[in-house]
Structure 1
Amino acid sequence: MKIRRTVLACSLAAISAQALADGDKLEVVTVTAQKRKEDPSKVAMSISAISGASLQAQQVSDFTDLTRAVPNISFTAATGNGGAGPGTSNIEIRGISSAAGQSTVGIYLGDVSLTVGNLYTMGTVEPKFFDIDRVEVLRGPQATLYGASSMGGTIKFVPNEPDLKEREITAYAEASSTKGGSANFSTNVVGNFPLVSDELALRIGAQAQRTGGFIDQVDGDGNVVANNINKINDQELRVALKWAATRDLTITPSLYYQRVDAKDIAAFNLERPPYQAQKQVREPSIDKLLTPNLAVNWDLGGADLTSSTSYFQRKFDRTQNGSAYNSYSLSTFLTSTDDGGKAPPELIDAIAGLPSAVYLNNAVRQISQEFRLASKPYSAGGSPVTWLAGYYFSNQHTNLNENDPIFGVNATFEKFGFSSADPNLLPDSYPGAFPNDNSFAGEFHYREKQNSIFGEVNYYFAPTLHGTIGARYLKGKSTLTQRNSLYLAGAGNNSSSSLSSHAFTPKYAVTWEVSPEHTVYSSVAKGFRLGGSNVFVPPTTCGPDLEANGLTSGPPTYASDSLWSYEVGSKSRFMGGRVSVNADAFYVKWKNIQQGVYLPTCAYSYNANAGDATSKGFEFDVKAKPMAGLTLSAAGGYVKAELSNDEGIANGVVGAVKGAQVQGVPKYNSTITAQYNFSTASGHSAFVMGGVQWVGPSKGSLNPEQTDYDRPAYHTVNFSTGISIDRYQLTAFIKNAFDEDKVIQHPQVASIVQGYRVAPRSIGMSVAAKF
C-alpha cells in the first residue's frame, strides 16, 4: 500500500511539474498557411499568427491596428478612394504597394476569398475581428496556393469552429470614451451548442458596435454644423453548423454577415483648427458583406479531400463630397468676360462654389469553388513524398453606378440670364446636359473569371530535410462594359473591352530542421496580378493631358504584372520553449507595375503598366517567458521599396523615376509588448499589459509636389489590466495613452488638403463572461 501511495505521489508530482513546465512555455498558434494544420515554426515562410484572445487583450480591433502590431504591413487610408473611411483603405505587405489595378494582398475569411480590385470607389474588404480563432499574416507571394493578387502576401481570418462536445456561451461588453469625441461601445454573445453529441453542433453569434467620432463639420465661418461626424455603427452575425456525418466525413455550412454604417470619413481640413472638416456635403457610407460557405472534409484513408463552395457578396453605397472638383472643374470650362468670353466672373465664382456630391453604388458578387486533395502528413519511416493538388474556379461580377449632381447648377445659370445648354457659354454643351442638376452618370460592369490548377510536392531527403516544389497555372478573363453620359463625360461613351491573362507561378523551398528546436529555410516564389480594363477617359475634356502622354485616347486595358521573391529565414526555440526567435530577409523584383496615371486638367485617371521596382528588407519576431507569469515580445521589420527605372514617368506617372520610394510603404515598423500574469491575495487571476508600436516615415505619393509626399513616423502606446473572478473577466484599458496626434497622412483633394490621424486617446472597460 505504501508503495502504491509513493508511486501515486510521484505520478502526481510529475504531472504537476509537466503542467508547470507547459505553463512556462510560449503559446503556439497552429496555422493553415499551406492548407494544412501545422506548427508555424516548421513552415518555410514568414508568418505572424495572432490568436483571437491575444487580439482582444492587445486591443487590436481593426485593420489599422493590425498593421501596427505585425511587421511590414501598411495601409493607405486616404487615396483616390476619397478619404479615410471604412472599406476604402488599401493594404500593403513588404512594400508591394499599388493603389491602381488589382489588389496586391489576398484577403480570406476561412476558405472564402474576399479579394477585390483597387477600383476607384472601393478599397480592401475589412472583416471585423468577431468570433475569430486567429489571424494569419502570410508574407511574401502566395500565388501557388492562393492565386492571383497575393503578391505581397495573404491575410487569413480563421473563424472558430463549432465544438461537437462542449456547450458554451460567451458574452462580451465594452465601453470607452474618446478624447474630444463621443462614446464607444461593443457587445457580443456567442453560443456553441452540441445538438447531437460528437455528431452535430451549432455555433451562433451576434455583435453590435459603435465607434464614436471626433471630427466636427464646420461652415466657411468656422461655425460647427455637426459634432463627431465620423461615427461608425456596425453589426455582425455568424452562424456555423458542423455535422460529423461519419467518422471520416465532416460537413460545415456557415454564414457571416456584417453591416458597417459610417456617418462620415475621418478626414479633416488642415487649414482649419484640429479635427474640423469644412465641407458642403457629408460623406456617409453603408458597407454590407455576406459570405455563405459550405466546407466538406473527407478522410479517404490515404488522402484528405476538401471542398469549399463559397458565395461572396458586398454592397457598398457611399457619398463623396464632389464640391472641390466637380463644381470647380465645370467653372474652368467657362471663359470670363475679362478674357473675351461670355461668362461674367460672378457666374464663374458662383458655379465654382456650388455643392456637389458623388453618389457611388457598388456591388460585388462572386461564386467560387475549390477542391483540394492532400496526402497524409509526413511520418518517419513512411513515404518520403507528401503532396497537395487542387482546382479553383471563381466568377466575380462588380457593378458600379455613379451620379455626380452639382446642386443648383441649372438655377445658377438662369439666375445670371444664361442657359447651361448654351455652347457659346459652356463649350460642347447640349440640351439636357444637366438633368436634375446631374453632371455625370456612369454605369460600369466588370466581370472576372478565373480557372486554375495548383499543387505542391514535398520530398523528404531525410526526416529533417525536405524540398518543396509547387506551381499554379491560372487562366483569367476580365471584361468591362460601361456607359458614360452627361456633360462631364464629354461626348459620352458606350463601350466594352476585355483582356485574357494566364500565368504559371512556381514556388521552390528547402526546409532543414537543424534540431527539433531550430529550423532554417529558403524559398523562391513568383507572384502575379491579373490585368484589367480602364474606365473611359473623354478626349474632349482630357485631350491636352492625353497628348502630353503621347495618346489620343485613354488605353482600354492594362496588362498583368508579376514579381519574383527570394527569402531566407530561421525559426528557433530556446530554453525548453520559453524563448522563440524568428527572423528572415527578403529581396523582391517587381516588373511591369500596374500604376495609376492621373490627368490633372480633367481630374480623370487610367491604369497603365509603367516601370519596375525592387523591395528588400527583413523581419523579426522574438518572444520570451523569462520568469513565471511574464511574457515579453518584440517584433519589427524594415523594407526599402524603390522604383528601379524611369519607365513610369515616361508613361505619365509624375515622380516615377529610378530611386523613388514606392508610395504608402513605411521604412520600418516595430512593436514591443509585455504582459504579467499573477494571482491576487484573494486567489484570483489577474494581468497587466503594456505595448508600444512604432511606424516609420513613408511617401504618400511619387510626386514630390503633392502634399502627401512626406508622411511622418509616429508611435502609439496602449495599456490594459484585468482580473478574473469566477466566470467573469474585468478589464480596464487605455488606447493611444499619450494621445499621439501627428497627421500621418495628408492628401490633397482638388484645392483642399485633408488630414488623417490616429484616433485620439480612449479609456474604457470591458467585461467578458463564460457560461
Structure 2
Amino acid sequence: MFRQHIASRRFALLLAGSTTVAGLPALAAPAPIAAVPPAAVSTAAVSAPNSQAGAPDGSEQAENITVSANKRRQRTRDVAGSVTVLTGKQLQALGAQSFADYLRLAPGAVFSEGVPGLSTVSFRGITDTNLLDQGQGTTGYFLNDVPLAEPGFAIAIPDIDTFDVSRVEILRGPQSTLFGSATLGGAVDYIANTADTHKYDAAFESSVLGVEGGDVGYTEKGMVNIPLIRDKLAVRGVLEYRQDPGYVDNVGTGEHGANQDLLRNARVSVTYEPTDGTKLTYLYLAQNNKISDQGYSQPFVGEYNKFTLIAEPYYTATQLHSLRLDQELSFGTLTGQAAFTRKNQYLGADYSAFYAGALGSLSPYSAPQTGDSKSMYYELRVASHDHQTVTWLAGAAYYQTWKRINAMLGVPGAQQYLAGLYGPQVAQSYAPDGDTFSQIIGDYDGSEESLFGEASYHGPAHLTFTFGGRLYWTSVTSSSENYGYYTALANDGTPFSPGHAATSDNGFLPKISLRWEPSRQFMAYGLISEGYRFGQPNVVTPDPNFTTPSGTSSDTLMNYEVGIRAGFFHDSLVFEPTLFWIDWSNIQTRLTRPDGITYGANAGDAVSRGAEITTSWTPVRGLRMQSNVTYLDAHLTDNVVRGGGLPDIPSGTALPTAAHWQFTETASYSFDNRFRPTITLLHHYIGHAKGALDTNFIQGDYNSVDVRFSAQLRNTALTFFVSNLTDSHGVTSGGSYGATPNGQQYFLLRPRTFGATLDWHL
C-alpha cells in the first residue's frame, strides 16, 4: 500500500514559486507588497522622467538624465530602444522599496508577485511561466552592471531595496548583445550610489504602516557618506531594516498575519580617485529576507487564508563584492570589473497532505529545500569618447557559477517506524538521520564567455546608424544524487542516482539600429536585436513509460521595434509610442511527465507583438499627468507536444503573463507654498493572463488605486499614504507545474494599507 502511494505521489514535484534543478522539488512562493503611490513619474519608451519627483516645476529635464543602458554614459533620449528610468529622487517620492512599487510605471512590464526572492518580472509576455523557473529566466537583473541572476536557473531573484540608489533602469526588449544571456525579454539594472569623494552626505527614513485586518510594519533606513581625503578617498554606508506586515492567516498553525517579511540590507562603498581620470570603486552588498510563512491563499480555505500543519518559511541571503576601475584614456574610457556573488536559500514546505498515514500515523511531513550558489563575473570594455563621427565600444566578459540544491523529505520517527518493517540495518540506510527518509542533491556548474561590441556612425541629416553584436560560448554540467527510502522504493529497493550530463552552445547575436533626431523635440528610431539564454541538461529519474529529453538547447528571439519621442509646447506634452514584433524560436519550457516529475524541453515557436504608449502632460505649473498603455498579443505559433498520453498545448495559446491590456495613470499636483504639499493619485489595471504554459491558472484582471500626500520643510518631508485604496483582491501570481501537496495556491494583492513616512536628507 505504501509502495503504491509513493509511486503515485512522486516526491520530485514542483510547488508554486520554486527554484530547483531538473527533477528536484521546487517549493512555494508570497505575498504582494502593494505599491505606494508615486509622485508623477514619466516612464517613456526612449526618455526618462521629465521631472524630479516632488519638484512642482518639472525642473529636471529628460535629456539631462545620464544612463548606462548601452554600457556607456549617454543621455536617455539618445538611446535607440525602450528604456524607462526612475531616478533616486523619484523613487523616494514614490515611496518605492521593491519591484511592486515601481514596475507598473514601465509599459509592457508585469511583476508576478509571490514570495519575495521567488517573484519574477516579465516584459512583453516573453516568459514560459510566472514562477521562478527551473531553467534560466527571461529577464536579467543587475546591480551596477553586475548580474544578480546566475547562468542557468537562479537560486533567488534579489529584490534590492531602492533606498539610496542613483536610479533604476528598466530595459525592455532583448539586451543580450551587451548584457549577456537571460535578457530575452529585458533587464532591470539598479545603479546604487557609490561613495562621493567631494562632499559629506547623510539621509534617514522611517516609516510605519498597517494592513487592514492584518499586522503593523515599519522601516528604518540610514545613509552616511564621508570623504576621508577630500577629492581622493571616501566611504559610504547604508543600513536598512524593514518589517513588512503579514496579512495571510494560517488556519492550521493558528498564526495571524503569518507571512510577515523581515528584510535587512547593508551596503558599503569605497571610492578612491588617486589622479584625475582614474576612479577605483569597491561595492559590498548584503541583503537578507526572512518570510515567516509563505503567504499564498488556498481556494478551499478562503482569501488571505491557508491551511498547513507546520509553517512554510523562506529565507534568502545575497552577498556581493564588486571592484570596478574607470580609467580615462586619450581616446576613450577603459572599464574593468570583477565581482563575486553568493546566494543562499532555505525553503520549507508542508507535505503532510501528500503523505498522511504513509508511515503509520506519523505527521507532519516536512520537505525543506536548501540552495547555495557562488558566481564570479569579470568584464573589460573600452568605450570611445562621444561627439565624434564614429563612436564605438568593445569588450569581453566571463561568467562562472557553481550551484547546489539539497531537497529533503522527512517526518519525526521515520527510522523507528521503518525499523519495524525492514529491520534496524535497512532502516538506517533508508532514514540515516532518523527523520529524513528521502534526499535529492543536485549540482550545477555553468559558464558563459563572450566578446561584444558596437559602433555608431553619426551621419548627415541627423541620422545615427549603429551595428553591434555578441559572440558567445556557453557550457553547463549538471548532476544529481538520490538517497533514502523513496529512492529505494521507486527503484525496487535499489539505490539510484541519475548521474550527470552536460550541454554546450555558441553563437553570434546581432543588433542594428537607426536613429533620427532632427530636433530636441523629436526623435524616431528603428531597432533589430536578438536575445538568447542557456540550454541545460535534464538529470532526472527515468520513467520506463516516457522518453525524457536529454536536455534543452538555447532558445533565441528576434525583436523588431520602432519608436518615437515627440515633445510639444516646450515638452509640457510628451508623446512616446513604440511598436514591436518579436519572433521567439525553440522556446525552452518546463513540462510535466505523467508521473508528475517535471523536465525541460524545447517546445516550438511563439510571437509577441504589440504597442506601448506613454503620454506625459503638464498643463499648468504644479500639475502633472501621465499614462502608460500597453496592448499585447503574445501566443504560441506551434503546438507543444507533451507526449505520454498528455494532451498537446495548442498553437494560439497565450504566453504566460501576457495580458492583452495594461494601463497606468498618475496625476500629481504640487501647491506652491513653503511646505510644497503634493497630492498624487495612481490607478493601475492589468488584464487576465495565464500563469504558465502547462497549467490553466489565471492571474490579473484587477484594478488598484493608491493615494499619497506629502509636505516638506527644508530637508525634512512627511508623507501619508493609502495603497490599494479600493481593497482589491487581485491575483498577482500562483499555480504550479504539476500537483501540489496543499492544493491550488494563489497570491493576492496586499489588502488596503495605511502608512506614514518621515524623510530627512542633509
Q: TM-score range by the shorter chain?
A: 0.7 to 0.9
1:375 aligns with 2:397: no
1:555 aligns with 2:546: no
1:386 to 384, 391, 396: 391
1:266 aligns with 2:271: no
1:756 to 737, 747, 760: 747
Name the counterpart of 1:281: 310
Contact 2:63 2:76 in 1 (8 A): no
2:429 to 428, 432, 444: 432
> Structure 1's 475 and 447: CA in aligned 2 closer, same or farther, altered over 3 A?
same
1:739 to 708, 723, 727: 727
Other structure's SS at 2:103 match? helix
User: After the TM superposition, which residues 135-534 of structure 1 pair with which residues of structure 2 at under 5 Å, given as runs?
Assistant: 135-219=168-252, 225-325=254-354, 327=355, 354-378=363-387, 383-409=388-414, 419=421, 432-435=429-432, 436-462=434-460, 464-489=462-487, 490-491=490-491, 492-493=496-497, 495-534=499-538
* Structure 1: distance between partners of 2:151 and 2:384: 34
* Structure 2: distance between partners of 1:113 and 1:20: 36
1:413 Cα shift? 6.7
1:30 to 50, 59, 66: 66
Q: Give the letter aligned to residue 519 of structure 1.
A: M
1:433 Cα shift? 2.7
Contact 2:501 2:539 in 1 (8 A): no
> Structure 1's 109 and 161: CA in aligned 2 closer, same or farther, altered over 3 A?
same
Aligned alpha-carbon RMSD (Å): 2.4
Q: Deviations over 1:184-215 (max 9, x none)?
A: 11111111222222222221111100001011
Q: Deviations over 1:241-273 (max 9, x none)?
A: 112211111111111111111111110221113
* Structure 1: distance between partners of 2:56 and 2:537: 60
Q: Deviations over 1:343-373 (max 9, x none)?
A: xxxx66966x842222111111111110110
* Structure 1: distance between partners of 2:661 and 2:90: 23
Name the counterpart of 2:676: 685
> Structure 1's 745 and 102: CA in aligned 2 closer, same or farther, altered over 3 A?
closer
1:385 Cα shift? 0.9
Other structure's SS at 2:657 match? coil
Name the counterpart of 2:122: 92
The two structures have a TM-score, normalised by structure 2, of 0.86
Other structure's SS at 1:115 match? coil
* Structure 2: distance between partners of 1:588 and 1:746: 26
Report the more deviating stretch, 522-531 or 65-74.
65-74
* Structure 1: distance between partners of 2:567 and 2:484: 65
Other structure's SS at 1:180 match? coil
Contact 1:26 1:578 in 2 (8 A): no
1:626 to 619, 622, 625: 619
Report the more deviating stretch, 96-105 or 474-483.
96-105
Contact 1:109 1:159 in 2 (8 A): yes
1:52 aligns with 2:52: no
User: After the TM superposition, which residues 714-729 of structure 1 pair with which residues of structure 2 at under 5 Å, given as runs?
Assistant: 714-729=702-717
2:760 to 745, 765, 769: 769
Return the structure number with greater helix share. 1
Q: Give the letter aligned to residue 726 of structure 2.
A: F
> Structure 1's 654 and 633: CA in aligned 2 closer, same or farther, altered over 3 A?
farther
> Structure 1's 180 and 173: CA in aligned 2 closer, same or farther, altered over 3 A?
same
> Structure 1's 618 and 123: CA in aligned 2 closer, same or farther, altered over 3 A?
farther
1:91 Cα shift? 2.1
* Structure 2: distance between partners of 1:659 and 1:231: 40
1:21 Cα shift? 7.9
Other structure's SS at 1:55 match? helix
Q: Give the letter aligned to residue 390 of structure 1.
A: G
* Structure 2: distance between partners of 1:596 and 1:253: 39
User: Unpaired segments of 5 or more residues in structure 1?
Assistant: 1-18, 78-83, 329-346, 423-428
The two structures have a TM-score, normalised by structure 1, of 0.86
Q: Deviations over 1:558-592 (max 9, x none)?
A: 21111111101111222213222222111111111
Name the counterpart of 1:107: 141
Other structure's SS at 1:685 match? coil
Percent identity, please: 25
Q: Give the letter aligned to residue 419 of structure 1.
A: L
* Structure 1: distance between partners of 2:754 and 2:343: 33
* Structure 1: distance between partners of 2:301 and 2:450: 52
Stretches of 4+ moved more than 4 A in 1? 19-22, 24-28, 347-351, 408-414, 650-655
1:29 Cα shift? 3.5
> Structure 1's 486 and 664: CA in aligned 2 closer, same or farther, altered over 3 A?
farther
> Structure 1's 535 and 357: CA in aligned 2 closer, same or farther, altered over 3 A?
farther
User: Unpaired segments of 5 or more residues in structure 2?
Assistant: 1-54
Other structure's SS at 1:474 match? strand
1:769 Cα shift? 0.9
1:437 Cα shift? 3.5
Name the counterpart of 1:343: none
Name the counterpart of 1:74: 110
* Structure 2: distance between partners of 1:350 and 1:758: 40
Q: Give the letter aligned to residue 392 of structure 2.
A: W
1:26 Cα shift? 6.3
1:315 Cα shift? 1.0
Other structure's SS at 1:559 match? coil
> Structure 1's 699 and 171: CA in aligned 2 closer, same or farther, altered over 3 A?
same
Q: Which has the higher contact order (CA 8 A, sep 6+)?
A: 2
User: After the TM superposition, which residues 512-591 of structure 1 pair with which residues of structure 2 at under 5 Å, given as runs?
Assistant: 512-537=516-541, 539=542, 542-544=543-545, 546=546, 551=547, 554-591=548-585
Q: How many residues align?
A: 693
1:114 Cα shift? 0.8
